[in-house]
């Protein structure tokens, strides 16, 4: 139970939240352009590999469109993601997976989730640009813009800490460094997600 009542339904992103896709993106940039980049050095959401003249987003789109299996199948879940989802599910929390990956890759994404025993109740096939348009109590995501949308829609938001995201200041938003943190916030922290009437957020 939290300050706004029981959290019954959470929305969970995939890239940067359930898995660390930047490793494959950096591998591809090195193979195709000869540019070596440590994933930890990708410190902006629209990071540009300057020597290659291409952004993270452009590489991801190319990989999803042209190299789907090479890109997605080897990805490994983040530490304790499986255990965290199991704990939330056992506590009666409905888990909804949604991703802005190309819709044509959703079957591969679902296969990946099943292969790694990542439990969920629903997979959203048609994801709106604003994820907060999907009904839920809390959004767990690695993009600060998505968390901002969730807070402004009256939801709670958990920002999965990554070098490329920006901090948010709102009683309805929290930062998680691990899936242990996510589980703690959702099941044990009575102060999250803050006052129900609060929906403002600041960078």
**CATH of region 9-19+76-187, choose from 3.90.600.10, 3.40.50.1000, 1.20.1250.20, 3.90.180.10:** 3.40.50.1000
Residues 148-184 have pLDDT tens digits of 999 999 999 999 999 998 877 788 999 999 999 999 9
Q: Output the pLDDT for position 136.
A: 97
The mean pLDDT of 106-132, rounded to a whole number, is 98
As a whole number of angstroms, the distance between CA 132 and CA 142 comes to: 14
Residue 2: predicted pLDDT: 38
**What is the location of CATH 3.40.50.1000 in the chain?**
9-19+76-187
Percent of the chain as helix, strand, coil, to the nearest 5? 35, 15, 45
Per residue in 4-51, pLDDT (tens digit) is 457 999 999 999 999 999 999 999 999 999 999 999 999 999 999 999
| Dist. CA 171–CA 134, nearest whole Å | 21
Mean pLDDT of the chain: 92
């Amino acid at each position: 139970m939290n300050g706004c009542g029981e959290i019954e339904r959470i929305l969970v992103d995939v890239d940067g939240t359930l898995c660390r896709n930047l490793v494959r993106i950096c591998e591809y940039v090195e193979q195709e352009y000869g540019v070596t980049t440590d994933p930890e050095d990708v410190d902006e959401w629209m990071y540009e590999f300057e020597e290659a003249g291409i952004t993270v987003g452009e590489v991801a789109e190319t990989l999803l469109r042209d190299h789907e299996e090479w890109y997605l199948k080897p990805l490994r879940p983040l530490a304790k993601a499986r255990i965290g989802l199991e704990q939330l599910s056992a506590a009666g929390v409905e888990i909804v997976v949604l991703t802005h990956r190309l819709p044509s890759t959703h079957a591969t994404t679902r296969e990946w989730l099943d292969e790694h025993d990542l439990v969920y109740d629903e997979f959203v096939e048609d994801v709106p640009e604003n994820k907060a348009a999907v009904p839920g109590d809390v959004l767990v995501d690695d993009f600060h813009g998505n968390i901002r949308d969730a807070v402004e829609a009256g939801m709670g938001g958990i920002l999965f800490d990554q070098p490329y995201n920006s901090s948010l200041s709102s009683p309805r938003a929290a930062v998680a460094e691990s899936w242990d943190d996510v589980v703690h916030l959702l099941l044990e922290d009575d102060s999250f997600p803050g006052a129900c009437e609060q929906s403002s957020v600041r960078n």
